[in-house]
Amino acid sequence: MKKPSLFTRPLASVALLAALLPIAAGCPGIIEIKSKQAASGPAKSTVPPILYEDFEKGYQQVSAYSNADGGASVNTGEEDTVVHSGKKAMHANYKSGTGSWGCGWGIGTNYMPKSGYFNARGTLGVELWAKAARGATFQISVTEGKQNGGDGEVYLAAQGTGSGAWKRYFFPWDGFTRSIYSGNQAGDDHLEIGSIGGIDVQIAEKQGDGTIYIDDIYFK
């Protein structure tokens, strides 16, 4: 799997962007920065980790969808045995099917701020722990809220690949791309991390049946 690109990007460009930032902030409109918060920001998170879900207060499924025509299905629930930390995680038992897409679900959160969205500004991406079969792939997406600059677009991270054991995954914001299949298609084409409304997970088609466990989801 590709390593976070922050570590491979030439330091000079990071330094240059860091130097330009105060100018950009002071002169709105002169430099437009799109979907690249992490790339144009500092190389370290400037805020403490923000907990999205650790399942210790239970698991809330907010949606589930599967390509029934292709034989796909998914059932998600609270997990009390296979956990990364604490006493609880979540699991999804899936059949990926043989259609043109597989299945997915929305992970609810017990920690949603009263505003209705997470302000993840100052973070570099999404960290989570997952245990998936070796070689099995999954993909997370974030849906923007509709306040604080968000306009309901959906952005997809790069695929994660299971190792058969619990593994830490980090999906940097600058690796997310806008979904052309879901979310607002008439938005500003800009991932607004100041307004994250939710996280989904998708399992692509044609990779058999399995179970994926997920725990400890943070914006970091």
**Positions that interact with Ca ion (CB under 5 A):** 151, 153, 187-188, 190, 192
Per-residue tokens: 31: 């430099």
> Least distance in Å: CB of 150 to Ca ion?
6
Residues 127/157, Cβ–Cβ less than 8 Å: no
84 or 190: whose CB is closer to Ca ion?
190
| Count of C-beta atoms within a 10 Å radius of residue 190 | 19
> Least distance in Å: CB of 190 to Ca ion?
5
143 or 202: whose CB is closer to Ca ion?
143
Residues 131/201, Cβ–Cβ less than 8 Å: no
172 or 194: whose CB is closer to Ca ion?
194
> Least distance in Å: CB of 38 to Ca ion?
15
Contacts of 132 (CB under 8 A, 6+ apart): 138, 160, 161, 162, 163, 164, 210, 212, 213
6 or 196: whose CB is closer to Ca ion?
196
Dist. CA 134–CA 19, nearest whole Å: 43
Q: What is the DSSP string of 15-42?
A: HHHHHHHHHHHHSTTTS---S-HHHHS-
> Least distance in Å: CB of 197 to Ca ion?
11
> Least distance in Å: CB of 155 to Ca ion?
8
76 or 179: whose CB is closer to Ca ion?
179
Dist. CA 2–CA 181, nearest whole Å: 24
152 or 210: whose CB is closer to Ca ion?
152
> Least distance in Å: CB of 178 to Ca ion?
8
Dist. CA 132–CA 91, nearest whole Å: 10
